[in-house]
Amino acid sequence: MESDEDRAPGRDRIDALAELFAHGPVAVLTGAGISTDSGIPDYRGEGSPPRSPMNIAQFMGDEAYRRRFWAGARIGSLRTGGIAPNAGHLALARLEAAGRTEGVITQNVDGLHRRAGSRTVVELHGHGGTIRCTACERRWSRDAVLVRFDDLNPGFAERHADAEIAPDGDAIVRSTDGVLVPGCPECGGILRPDVVYFGETVPPAVFAAGEDLVHEAHALLLVGTSLAVNTGIRLVHRAERRGLPLAVINRGPTAVDQRPSVRVRIDGGASETLAAVAAALD
């Protein structure tokens, strides 16, 4: 590990970051950069694949779009079973268990913080593994809905198992004619991922939960985010208003690098940096 000087952040930086935790629990805001080591692409990072965002308006208005979505989700689920929390997620769970953090606020929808053992997790943009009914607001797991997809479309997954996989993990299924879309088992309403998509707003109660974590914290640590998302910047402003110091771990520049509130800035990977900080605080 010591020989990998390009990747390993300097000892003094790690010590400066650890020092930030010495004054009391820290709030942590994470973005896509913490999950890239788990094999989930960062659409904003350098060298990232072309963005293929979900068009939620089209999803809601067009049955054919929903057929393609569910068919892609079903086939994609055959290939993405290997995605697991990485050393960065695990280090944050360890820091929380040791009373070093107030919890995690995340822009990610991959659910990896909870799977790593983090208990207090505010998911600003929702959770891709949860499906909600747009009519009655009941929620189901994505897996449960995919089982219903199989009931409605027997043999479909087997017939298309070799379809190409898009960067977001869902498959590109060419022919979805005749595919039946699972509706809400309770009311028949349209089901959608419980995710805040581009053009939608973070629910006020969710933002308030993130705000509460920042208000209880002694510092705000930003990990794997360039702060291109407006909600993240709003939380930074809340922290600054309370005079909290900021720290940044990110590959490449962020929107806050020049702010006087930034005490520590580490241009590096989330996994190795967080693991080193957790080890320094043990």
Which residues are designated catalytic? Answer: 125
Distance CA 277, CA 175 (A): 49
22, 187, 228, 233: residue in contact with Zn ion (rule CB under 5 A): 187
- What one-letter code names the amino acid at 180? L
Binding piece for Zn ion, criterion CB under 5 A, among 29-37, 38-46, 73-81, 183-191: 183-191
90 binds Zn ion (CB under 5 A): no
What is the closest distance, in whole angstroms, from the C-beta atom of residue 67 to Zn ion in the complex?
Answer: 19
Question: Judged by CB under 5 A, how many residues of this single chain contact Zn ion?
Answer: 7
Q: How far is the CB of 195 from Zn ion (least distance, A)?
A: 17
DSSP 8-class letter at 163: P
Of 192 and 234, CB closest to Zn ion: 192
The CA-to-CA distance between both ends of the chain, in Å, stands at: 19
Cα–Cα nearest to 249, from 47, 44, 13: 13
Q: Is 183 among the residues that bind Zn ion (CB under 5 A)?
A: no
Q: Which is nearer to Zn ion, 161 or 187 (CB)?
A: 187
Which of 45, 117, 129, 189 touches Zn ion (CB under 5 A)?
A: 189
Could you tell me how many helices (H) and strands (E) the chain has, helices first?
A: 10, 11
Give me 202's structure tokens: 């973070």
Question: Within 13 A of 87's CA, how many CA atoms are on the CB side?
Answer: 12
In the block, tokens 């208005």 appear at 61
| Among the listed residues 57, 97, 136, 180, the single contact to Zn ion using CB under 5 A | 136
Q: What residues line the site for Zn ion (CB under 5 A)?
A: 133, 135-136, 184, 186-187, 189
